[in-house]
Amino acid sequence: MISLFPKLAQFILAGIVCSAIQGLLAQSSRDVRGPVDDWPYYGHDAGGTRYSPLSQISRQNVTTLKVAWTFHVGDISDGSGHKKRSGLETTPILVDGTLYLTSGFNRVFALDPETGAQRWVYDPMIEIAGDYGDGLINRGVAAWLDPARAKGKPCGRRIFETTLDARLIALDALTGEPCRDFGNRGQIGLRDVARYIPAQYHMTSPPAVIDDVVVVGSAIDDNSRVDMPSGVVRAFDARTGALRWKWEPLPPNDSESTSASSGKPWRTGAGNAWSVMVVDQERDLVFLPTGSASPDYYGGLRPGDDKWADSVVALRGKTGEFVWGFQLVHHDLWDYDSASPPLLTTVQHDGKTVPVVIQGNKTGFLYVLNRDTGVPVFPVEERPVPQTDVPGEVTSPTQPFPLAPPALVPQKLSADDAWGITPEDRQVCHERLKTLRNDGLFTPPSLRGTLSVPGNIGGMNWSGYAYDPQHSLLVVNTNNLPARMGLIPADKYWDEVDKNTEDADYTQQSGGPYGLFRTFIFSKAHHLPCAPPPWGTLTAVDMTTGTIRWQVPLGSLAPGNPAVPVGAPSLGGPIVTAGGLVFIAGTLIDPALRAFDAETGKELWKTQLPTSGGATPMTYQTRKSGKQFLVIAAGGHRGVTEEPQNDSIVAFALP
């Protein structure tokens, strides 16, 4: 017995030493890796800042990023066989050690964040051949933890998805099974809205969750008719699915309704919140970005400002009570939706820390508003704008112009400024521009044709922006594509459609006196935009001073061709990390994922994706390996037939 003591003592001592060394190594590893961080909301946090505190991937090592895993959702539609073309616009979320994402067919996937291995998949069985105006797309899901349900019980953590065929579905986060106590065995129908039209009323963005309430908006097709479905926003009990409240962005639309501002009959619809919503849990506020009233390009049957279309609106989370609203475009005639999600942060202004809502618009303007009141932090003034010459239309006499920050895109283009890669292209562009009505920003649609700068995809679209609190920078990707648009008298509409010889959109705007045509203005030979490049930029705005810190071209419409200037339009936004990096894909035609220095805008890293990544990336660090991953959906843009389609979710990590 005595002879064993020395060996036992040695064994114990060795164990103590080993434990101490392991502890030091673990501590060192934690110091290197930084905080372990999830991505529990579409925009990382409830306020949608898209900022990650992770710094394992840094300016110094970003060039060594490699593909860690790839997952294929398997859902692609090329638009044949009566189906719409699909896209892959999902931004995954990470909660409780599982990655959740969606396909364009509304299938929900749960993946292992370390390996990309599938844990479960749920298929809501939508009608793939439905005539969904936005195509087959979905941008993701929302998560909710029930504090009243014991850990490990079914549906303690719920995953919520809204579908193209207008349903709200609640799934058990652990198994993917529908939560049977929610609505009708796990789902509720969302079609109970005024003037509902099948397929033209659908959902593409994730719902918002505040406390125990799930808030949903809707996507409504543009321009097909005057009296489109109501853009009502609704909130449902997260446990039962019972309707808690609803809010209408526009006044009632029927034969007896009148516009408060003009006293004339009122016929319209939409004004819907189709983009991503954000919440302030502490203030019990939900922030909605609203779109245009129907139809987009003729407002003679919806006189007045059309409040609260084209606005950012704050509602009380518990009751739906209207708290405040700020309208970015009065009586919209340009499809200038508030497409970008609101972003909640705090800024330093006049020596004070101010809680704000930042809201961008397709005009290229950024509005910075006090979060409690909606009052502009940087001044906004109403300025006179061009007036209509279309019979029956009454344009708004003024529009709101922020004095800071400055517009992030060009807002005018003369025929003499026409651009082309060759003299012949320039001449064609010059001739196309000089025939159009062109009085600058907010030139209304006309019967002869009007130049719209920016066009209807931006400025800022649903891509949104990211906020870097380390440097007080808002990072924004913008588009610079001029468009030709105008109105056609209803009795001449089909004759004009039959004569169409260009790739233009024609919509009837049924129920109104005018149909619509619109198309982006490109040169004939090389099919490049007629506006001087760049046609897409990445900009950092100093939110303390309201000035532009840096601005760089983003991507290329002809990757690898030095004869074509850089800068491509993009749909899919940026994120920012504490590693001093901006990550973004999104560029049309250009299938790259890029990293930029957040302080300077210098491009530090670029890698090729299977096709363009028309989505916003996300990043997280796992508890198992301690690795930071960067994830992007690469499926191609649904409206760009020149891009190959794909179904890839690609994760990157350091070697």
> Looking at the chain, how many residues does it have?
655
Kindly name the residue from 335, 337, 590, 647 that is annotated as catalytic.
335
Question: Euclidean distance between the first and final Cα of the chain, in Å?
Answer: 51
Q: Are strands 285-289 and 311-316 parallel, antiparallel or unpaired?
A: antiparallel
Other beta carbons less than 10 A from residue 356's beta carbon: 24
Q: Pick from 220, 141, 128, 133: which is nearest to 176 by CA?
A: 141
User: What residues form DSSP beta bridges with 220?
Assistant: 201
Angle at 332 between CA 396 and CA 458, to 5 degrees: 130
Measured in degrees and rounded to the nearest 5, phi and psi for residue 27 equal -65, -40
CB 199 within 8 A of CB 131: yes
Amino acid 90 reads T
Q: What six digits make up the tokens of 181?
A: 């106590």
Q: Are strands 98-102 and 108-111 parallel, antiparallel or unpaired?
A: antiparallel
Sequence-distant (6+) residues with CB within 8 A of 10 are: none
Q: Where are the beta strands (DSSP E) in 309-377?
A: 311-316, 322-327, 343-349, 352-360, 366-370
Please say if 335 is a catalytic residue.
yes
Q: Pick from 410, 413, 416: which is nearest to 430 by CA?
A: 416
C-alpha distance from residue 187 to each of 33, 100, 205, 333 (Å)? 41, 18, 17, 37
Q: Where are the beta strands (DSSP E) in 36-162?
A: 51-52, 66-72, 93-95, 98-102, 108-111, 118-122, 142-145, 157-162
C-alpha distance from residue 523 to each of 85, 413, 429, 530, 569 (Å)? 26, 15, 6, 6, 16
CB 435 within 8 A of CB 449: yes
Q: What six digits make up the tokens of 390?
A: 């279309």
Number of helical (H) and strand (E) elements in the chain, helices listed first: 3, 40
Give the residue numbers annotated as catalytic, written as ranges. 335
